[in-house]
Each structure stands twice: as C-alpha cells, then as structure tokens.
Amino acid sequence: MQDFKFNLNHSKNNGILIPITAYTVLENEAQEKVLKQKEKQKLKNNASLELVEADEPPIWFLLIVFLIFYYFQAINISKPKI
C-alpha cells in the first residue's frame, strides 16, 4: 500500500500518467469532490482486501482442456442410444 501512495503522490505532483494512477476527466467541482473522497477511502482501505488481477492460462493448458472435451464429446456421439 505504501508503494501505491508513493506512486499516487509522485504521479500527481509530476503530472505523469501511469496505469495505476490514470487520470479521469471531471466536468465540474462536485465530481472532483467525490473523486477526492473516494481516493481517501481507497487509501484507508486494507490492501489485503484488494482484488488482484489473475494471469490468463497458458495456451497449452487450454488446448489440453479442449482436446479432453472434444474426446468425450466424440465418445458420447458414437455410443448407440438405447
């Protein structure tokens, strides 16, 4: 969480756009006020409760799953129904 605060402060001070501190276009002061409240709320939150983005499965894993699925579908179709 300290890294996030550090990056947030430096991003604001230097006007640098990075993915974790991307800018939002605000149309009026009310939106700016709400955004600042949400930002303070996020900084107070427990970092362990934040969602972490998961990596996608490797292509070889997806291929194996597909082949297993295809195999069982072929077996199911070839069985005579009684």
- Identify the pLDDT of residue 67: 96
Mean pLDDT, range 21-35, rounded to an integer: 79
Which of 76 and 60 is assigned the larger pLDDT? 60
Write out the residue range of the structural domain in which residue 49 sits: 2-78
Read off the pTM: 0.34
pLDDT tens digits, 32-61: 898 888 888 877 776 666 667 788 889 999
DSSP secondary structure letters along 23-51: -----SHHHHHHHHHHHHHHHHS-GGGS-
- Return the half-sphere exposure (C-beta side, CA atoms, 13 A cut-off) of residue 31: 5
Report which listed range, 19-23, 61-65, 71-75, is most confident.
61-65
Contact between 49 and 41 under an 8 Å Cβ cutoff? The reply is no
- Identify the pLDDT of residue 54: 80
CA pseudo-torsion sign 4, 7, 28, 44: positive
Domains contained in the chain, number: 1
Distances in whole angstroms, Cα of residue 74 to Cα of each of 64, 67, 71: 15, 10, 5
